[in-house]
Amino acid sequence: MLQRAAFRLAGWQVLLTGIVAVAAFWLAGSSAALSAATGGGIGIIAGLYQALRMFRVNAGADPAGFMRGVYVGEAVKIVLTVALMIAAIRVLGVEMLPFMIGYIAIYSVYWIALKTGLSVE
């Protein structure tokens, strides 16, 4: 059930990334849209990895294994995020403002989910 919730949240994040990318396109063109989509995509990939890694183990059956998953998932998420951001900046030459807006925007889905119970429906 928790893996399904992680995919549901990622789906909402993809939708929000698309909205931000379209807004960036209207405001500043295709380069800004690509930058916003790239930022959102990096956050989605890293967050989904963390969630799936963490939820591989049942916390009730193996609390230590679950916590190991939390720590490893968070560490890999940070490394993955930094590596993907460096690659996006160096290889794609993203525009920083739309890139960061795209990255930061997807975290609002977590806040909304916590407030509304979105992830458990």
> What radius of gyration, in Å, describes the C-alpha atoms of the chain?
16
Q: Which two tokens stand for residue 113?
A: 């989910």
Q: Among 1, 2, 6, 3, which Cα is nearest to 109's?
A: 6
Residue 92 and residue 98 in contact, taking contact as beta carbons nearer than 8 Å: no
Higher-confidence position of 112 and 48? 48
The pLDDT of residue 110 is above 90: no
Residue 17 and residue 102 in contact, taking contact as beta carbons nearer than 8 Å: yes
The pLDDT of residue 32 is above 60: yes
Q: What is the DSSP string of 26-54?
A: HHH-HHHHHHHHHHHHHHHHHHHHHHHHH
pLDDT in tens, 66-88: 899 899 999 999 999 999 999 99
Q: Buried b / exposed e across 79-111, counting CB within 10 Å, b at 16+?
A: ebbeebbeebeeeeebbeebbebbbebbeebee
Report the predicted TM-score, pTM, of the whole model to 2 decimal places.
Answer: 0.88
Domain positions in the chain: 2-120
